[in-house]
C-alpha cells in the first residue's frame, strides 16, 4: 500500500481524503512530510500551509494550526481553521493584513501585541496560500 487516508476536523467542517500519497504540514519547528508507513505520533501544528498529494495532483490549504495524529497508516488533523487555496478570498485576506498592520502601528492598550502579531501571521499565510 502506497497511500493512506486523511481525516481533517475543524470546528465547522470535516473533510475525509482517500488515497493520499504525501502530506506536508506546518510543524512548530518547521514543515514536516508524512508518507505511508510514517512513524506513529502526535504533532503540534502552527499557522501555515498544508500540502496534500493525491492521484498525482497537489492541493494546498491554509491552516491556523492544531494537531496531527498519525496512527495505523492514517492521519487525523484537528485544526483551528482550514481554507483551500482556491476558496480563499484574496481581497478579504488583504484587508485583514492591512487592518493588522494598522493595529500594529497604533498604540492601543486594549489590543494585545501577541494578538496583533498572530493576526498578521494568519493574514500573510492566507495571502500566500491563495496564490497557489
Domain ranges in the chain are 4-85, 88-130
13 vs 103: which has the higher pLDDT: 13
Helices (H), the chain: 90-105, 113-130
Q: What is the mean pLDDT of residues 66-70?
A: 97
- Say whether 88-130 and 4-85 share the same fold: no
- Dist. CA 91–CA 1, nearest whole Å: 42
pTM score, two decimals? Answer: 0.85
- Predicted pLDDT at 75: 96
Q: What pLDDT is recorded for position 117?
A: 82
Fold (CATH) for 4-85: ATP Synthase; domain 1 (2.60.15)
Percent of the chain clearing pLDDT 70 (strictly above)? 95
Q: Indicate the CATH number of 88-130 among 1.20.5.440, 1.10.10.10, 3.90.650.10, 2.60.40.1180.
A: 1.20.5.440
Q: Which residues touch 2 (CB under 8 Å, ≥6 apart)?
A: 21, 36
Indicate whether 104 pLDDT > 80.
Answer: no
Q: Which residue has the higher pLDDT, 25 or 38?
A: 25
Helix (H) or strand (E) run with residue 7 in it: strand 4-9
Query: Rounded distance, CA 111 to CA 127, Å?
Result: 23
What is the pLDDT, as a whole number, of residue 27? 95
- pLDDT bracket for residue 108 (50, 70, 90): low
Amino acid at each position: 500500500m502506497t497511500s493512506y487516508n486523511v481525516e481533517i476536523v475543524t470546528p465547522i467542517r470535516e473533510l475525509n481524503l482517500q488515497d493520499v500519497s504525501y502530506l506536508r504540514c506546518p510543524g512548530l519547528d518547521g514543515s514536516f512530510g508524512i508518507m505511508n508507513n510514517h512513524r506513529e505520533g502526535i504533532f503540534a501544528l502552527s499557522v501555515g500551509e498544508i500540502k496534500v498529494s493525491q492521484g498525482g495532483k497537489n492541493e494546498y490549504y491554509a491552516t491556523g494550526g492544531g494537531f496531527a495524529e498519525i496512527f495505523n497508516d492514517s492521519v487525523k488533523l484537528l485544526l483551528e481553521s482550514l481554507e483551500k487555496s482556491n476558496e480563499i478570498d484574496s481581497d478579504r485576506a488583504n484587508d485583514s493584513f492591512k487592518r493588522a498592520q494598522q493595529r500594529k502601528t497604533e498604540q492601543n492598550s486594549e489590543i494585545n501585541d501577541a494578538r496583533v502579531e498572530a493576526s498578521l501571521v494568519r493574514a500573510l499565510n492566507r495571502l500566500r496560500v491563495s496564490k497557489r
